[in-house]
Amino acid sequence: MRMVILDGYTVNPGDTDWSGLEALGDLTIYERSPEETVVERSQEAEVVFTNKSILSGDSLRQLPQLKYIGVLATGYNVVDIPATKELGIPVCNVSGYSNQSVAQLVFAHILNHANHVALHSEGVHQGKWSESIDFCYWDTPQIELDGQILGIVGLGAIGKATARIAQAMGMQVIATTRDPSKTPPQGIRWVSKEQLFAESDVISLHCPLTPETQHMINPESLSLMKPSAFLVNTGRGPLVNEQALADALNEGRIAGAGIDVLDQEPPRYESPLFGAKNCSITPHIAWATLAARQRLIDSTVENLEAFLRGETRNRVN
């Protein structure tokens, strides 16, 4: 069986291996595949794996040998799903592999806001502590999280993992739900979206991107937040109106933001958040711990093994 990985570098830049897939057939791995190379590179393949390389309907119709598509991610918008249905090609993704890693980065941003460890370490290396007339100094307020309120928008698996860390640190957790009659997880209180924005000391976004949630962070929702509130977005970039958030930060209407996702990735534009006050930005790395990427590869292998047994696992079409 011939298999092709179109863009393996992001998932595995060399710190793990593809041995599980190599055991199942003849595997060719490309680090990256621009769209114009996809057909040529996949021509003889029965199985194609993609992370972000585009598999358009036009490309798929030129791949008569193709029997299976594995998506090395949770999102599968890079694959023309209607075309795969037409052609009878199953598409299987991987979900849940990065829940703990994403929750961990949420708190990396929150703790950065609370203590500014890197800022103070840099100051020490620059000699500021040595020059201090007191035994210690701090350049930013030091915030204790115990007793503060974390508002979670989207209480799925990642939201729940984030809530568990918050509760371990003594934070109160509130969340929104479309079904308030449902019993909330222990220690979590259901509130309306308006209450969440108004009451939270920290807000963390974990909801899917839909027409209803696009730009949910906007002038109106930002106006409800406390001046001391901190926003974290490790979900999807378009959940946030970047200009509105930058304005709120620059004008001191909220205290800060930790962002791991942007409207366009990589950002081929000058995001207003790049120059915004108290805004930490990481390059979409919440999912990318070695442990999470290994789980992603392991699950990809399990998906293909199931297909070879005549079963489907994590099929999205």
Residue 269 CB neighbours (<10 A) = 11
> pLDDT by residue (tens digit) across 254-299?
999 999 999 999 999 999 999 999 999 999 999 999 999 999 999 9
Mean pLDDT score of the chain: 97
| Backbone φ and ψ of 55, nearest 5° | -115, 90
- Structure confidence at residue 317 (pLDDT): 96
Q: What is the DSSP string of 186-220?
A: TTEEE--HHHHHHH-SEEEE-PPP-TTTTT-BSHH
> pLDDT by residue (tens digit) across 151-176?
999 999 999 999 999 999 999 999 99
Query: Please, what is the end-to-end C-alpha distance for the chain in angstroms?
Result: 23
Assess contact for 255 and 113: CB atoms under 8 A. Answer: yes
The CATH code that applies to domain 99-281 is 3.40.50.720
- Structure confidence at residue 181 (pLDDT): 85
Assess contact for 173 and 187: CB atoms under 8 A. Answer: yes
The catalytic residues are 236, 265, 284
Residue 180 has pLDDT above 90, yes or no: no
Residue 179 has pLDDT above 90, yes or no: no
- Structure confidence at residue 243 (pLDDT): 98
The CATH code that applies to domain 2-97+290-308 is 3.40.50.720
* Predicted TM-score (pTM) above 0.85: yes
Assess contact for 229 and 252: CB atoms under 8 A. Answer: no
Residues of the chain within CATH 3.40.50.720 domain(s) are 2-97+290-308, 99-281
The residue whose two tokens read 């696009």 is 214
Residue 38 has pLDDT above 90, yes or no: yes
Question: Confidence class of residue 52 from pLDDT cuts 50, 70 and 90?
Answer: very high
